[in-house]
Amino acid sequence: MQILGFLLGLALSLVSAGVQANIYGYVDEHGVAHLATEKNRRSL
């Protein structure tokens, strides 16, 4: 059973290795940090 868990974990780690996320952020004039998945004019 431990081997099956190990193989499942290995398979999931290999699948997730090809995944990436673009995260953009900026700090506004009040010092509050904002995050987004799309670029906007404030994050430049």
HEC readout, the chain: CHHHHHHHHHHHHHHHCCCCCCCEEEECCCCCEEEECCCCHHHC
Amino acid (1-letter code) at residue 18: G
Q: Closest Cα partner for 24 from 5, 40, 4?
A: 40
| Model pLDDT, residue 42 | 56
| Model pLDDT, residue 30 | 92
**Rg, C-alpha atoms of the chain:** 19
| Model pLDDT, residue 10 | 83
Residues of the chain with pLDDT under 70: 15-19, 41-44
Which two structure tokens, joined as six digits, stand for 4? 């099956």
